[in-house]
Amino acid sequence: MVRSYMPFSAFATFISRPTILGKQRQGTAIGACELRLRAAGYATGYIGKWHLSGVPRDRFIPPEERLGFEEWKAAECIHSYDHSYYDDEQNERHWFPGFESEGQADLAIDFVERKERNRRTNGTPWALVLSWGPPHAPYDVVPQRHAGLFSPADIRLRPNVPERVLRCDGSGEYTGTDQMRAVLAGYCAQISYLDEQFGRIMDSLDALGAARDTVVIYTSDHGDMLGSQGLQKKQLPHDESVLVPFLIRWPGRLEPGVRPTPMGLVDLAPTIAGFAGGGFTAADGVDRGRLLRRGEAEEEGQDDPAVLIYNLVPCHQAADRGETRGWYGIRTRRYTYAVWDDGEPFCLYDNDVDPFQTANLCGPETRRGQCGSVATRLRSRLEAQLGRAGASIEPWQELIPRLGLRDAWNASQEYFGRPLLLDGCAGRSRMLR
């Protein structure tokens, strides 16, 4: 267990969940974790993309919506990475002189240096969340010193990228592999840029002599199809969309290596709180500290542990692909299984024998039999996990009103010029912003 004076640093990416419902739940977990850290005496800070406070996206975030973070250098949501800003504790807006991620790294280094000096003076530990926007579309917004590192001609696409890829703009049109290579080159350039900035922060910990006493976590909230399965963007059950990095370093406490057991983002907050020396019960997830320390599977009686994956509402990118239903699923070490929000199964992959998920075992020809005995077992596990979280498979048109979120949903839809939810059904008229 982390001693009370152990400085703790969480460099994590908390961007957006696919829906307002997911954002609300994620925000609750972040805030509860932050309050637990503050109760344990930690000085806390948040830098970067917030994306939890709705519309308009350029709004100032009032203190009561910051979930308890003390130091504040954040913006709700902005994707102009070369012309960006942050708002401080007094909601004064500051424009970055260059690219956003580099300016945010500067702010993080300043926070670390100040809080580490303070810790050595009065023993106050610290915790920081740095939420970078990239890698995220638009992928061509990146410093030239990194853009020039990757030529589209040299990019090798994944084997499950077909010749035609559906555009994610609502047009119903397709793009080709040359365009996808250009997109992927920009994606790689953004990762290279972030790697440089992350390295600067790690160097600052080394220079301060604080590396061994600092837990560093690097993760994200979603991936991007980047042409796989003929699709783009997120909100899909495929691995390119749902699998994200989880890198953690705690010298002397965690052994280097790979842990094959699945871990969900809902586990992040209780795990962080556990490392910081306190219990945590205000979230759906569990403390995975034992798994990370010893590599142990933690689900009793399960030789293939599972985590929930879902897109509760088909908003924005999902709607632009023509999807009209949300979905619920689970990802185990071996299988991916998902059903639409009306209960119809549509996705089953054996990832051991089909790592690129090219053979859907729950395709149209097998759905009538619920995809076989494997799917029956996975369906039971999915429903059990949802039940433990106080949820069930439910059409999104019923879910939003039941949670009292119709007004918030419609405000967001109207802001983006999208259909409203009227009387429990999806409105079809396009709203003008």
CATH number at residue 312: 3.30.1120.10
Structural domains in the chain (count) = 2
Q: Which residues pair with 126 in a beta bridge?
A: 43
Tell which wins on pLDDT, 19 or 168: 168
pLDDT at 337 over 80: yes
CATH number at residue 250: 3.40.720.10
Tell which wins on pLDDT, 344 or 301: 344
9 in a structural domain: no
Query: Span 217-224, mean pLDDT?
Result: 92
pLDDT tens figures, 267-283: 888 888 888 876 666 56
For residue 121, the model assigns a pLDDT of 93
254 in a structural domain: yes
348 in a structural domain: yes
CB distance 382 to 337 below 8 Å:
yes
- Where a domain ends, among 294, 326, 345? 294
For residue 286, the model assigns a pLDDT of 81
For residue 114, the model assigns a pLDDT of 96
13 in a structural domain: no
pLDDT at 209 over 70: yes
- As given in the structure block, the two tokens for residue 109 are 């280094």
314 in a structural domain: yes
pLDDT at 193 over 50: yes
For residue 424, the model assigns a pLDDT of 47
Identify whether residues 287 and 317 lie together within a single domain.
no
241 in a structural domain: yes
pLDDT at 1 over 90: no
Neighbours of 191 (CB within 10 A): 16
For residue 32, the model assigns a pLDDT of 64
pLDDT at 428 over 80: no
pLDDT at 427 over 70: no
For residue 422, the model assigns a pLDDT of 85
Tell which wins on pLDDT, 289 or 348: 348
Identify whether residues 260 and 167 lie together within a single domain.
yes
Identify whether residues 382 and 286 lie together within a single domain.
no
For residue 367, the model assigns a pLDDT of 53
Identify whether residues 288 and 334 lie together within a single domain.
no
181 φ, ψ to 5°? -65, -40
3-state secondary structure the chain: CCCCCCCCCCCCCCCCCCCHHHHHHHHHHHHHHHHHHHHCCCEEEEEEECCCCCCCCCCCCCHHHCCCCCEEEEECCCCCCCCCEEECCCCCEEECCCCHHHHHHHHHHHHHHHHHHHHHHHCCCEEEEEECCCCCCCCCCCCHHHHCCCCHHHCCCCCCCCCEEECCCCCCCEEEHHHHHHHHHHHHHHHHHHHHHHHHHHHHHHHHCCHHHCCEEEECCCCCCCCHHHCCCCCCCCHHHHCCCEEEECCCCCCCCCCCCCCCHHHHHHHHHHHCCCCCCCCCCCCCHHHHHHCCCCCCCCCCCEEEEEECCCCCHHHHCCCCCCEEEEEECCEEEEEECCCCEEEEEECCCCCCCCCCCCCCCCHHHCCCHHHHHHHHHHHHHHHHCCCCCCCHHHHHHHCCCHHHHHHHHHHCCCCCEECCEECCCCCCC
pLDDT at 85 over 60: yes
Identify whether residues 365 and 218 lie together within a single domain.
no
Tell which wins on pLDDT, 319 or 280: 319
Q: How confident is the model at residue 365 (pLDDT cuts 50, 70, 90)?
A: low
With a CB cutoff of 8 Å and minimum separation 6, the contacts of 317 are 18, 168, 232, 233, 234, 235
Identify whether residues 151 and 239 lie together within a single domain.
yes
For residue 24, the model assigns a pLDDT of 40
Identify whether residues 170 and 318 lie together within a single domain.
no
pLDDT at 113 over 70: yes
262 in a structural domain: yes
Domain, as residue range, for 310: 306-426
For residue 23, the model assigns a pLDDT of 38
pLDDT at 317 over 80: yes
pLDDT at 9 over 90: no
pLDDT at 10 over 70: no
Query: Which SS3 state, helix, strand or coil, does residue 274 take?
Result: helix
Identify whether residues 331 and 249 lie together within a single domain.
no
Task: Find the largest Cα–Cα distance for the chain.
Answer: 68
- Where a domain ends, among 265, 294, 323? 294
For residue 144, the model assigns a pLDDT of 92
Query: Span 89-116, mean pLDDT?
Result: 96
Task: Give the global pTM.
Answer: 0.88
Query: Span 195-215, mean pLDDT?
Result: 94
- As given in the structure block, the two tokens for residue 126 are 């610290």
For residue 426, the model assigns a pLDDT of 47
For residue 260, the model assigns a pLDDT of 81
pLDDT tens figures, 51-84: 998 899 999 999 999 988 999 999 999 999 999 9
Neighbours of 339 (CB within 10 A): 25
Give me the chain's average pLDDT, please. 85
Task: Give the percent of the chain with pLDDT over 70.
Answer: 84
- As given in the structure block, the two tokens for residue 274 are 């556990």
Identify whether residues 274 and 360 lie together within a single domain.
no
- Where a domain ends, among 243, 265, 294? 294
Listed range (183-192, 210-219, 300-309, 410-419) with the worst mean pLDDT: 300-309
Identify whether residues 207 and 243 lie together within a single domain.
yes
C-alpha distances (whole Å) from 303 to each of 26, 210, 262, 306 are 28, 38, 12, 10
Listed range (19-28, 60-69, 100-109, 159-168) with the worst mean pLDDT: 19-28
Query: Span 402-420, mean pLDDT?
Result: 94
300 in a structural domain: no
For residue 221, the model assigns a pLDDT of 87
Whether a cis peptide bond, with omega within 30° of 0, leads into 56 is yes
Q: How confident is the model at residue 108 (pLDDT cuts 50, 70, 90)?
A: very high
For residue 281, the model assigns a pLDDT of 64
pLDDT tens figures, 126-176: 999 999 999 999 999 999 999 989 999 999 999 999 999 999 898 999 999
Neighbours of 370 (CB within 10 A): 17
Residue type, 412: S
For residue 11, the model assigns a pLDDT of 33
For residue 272, the model assigns a pLDDT of 86
Alpha-carbon distance of 82 to 100, in angstroms, equals: 6
For residue 253, the model assigns a pLDDT of 87
| 111-125 burial: b if 16+ Cβ within 10 Å, else e | bbeebbeebeeeeeb
Rg over CA atoms, the chain: 22
Identify whether residues 273 and 331 lie together within a single domain.
no
Look-up: residue for tokens 């053979």?
Answer: 359
Identify whether residues 419 and 362 lie together within a single domain.
yes
With a CB cutoff of 8 Å and minimum separation 6, the contacts of 185 are 147, 150, 151, 152, 155
In terms of Cα–Cα distance, which of 256, 259, 287, 258 is closest to 273? 287
Q: How confident is the model at residue 27 (pLDDT cuts 50, 70, 90)?
A: low
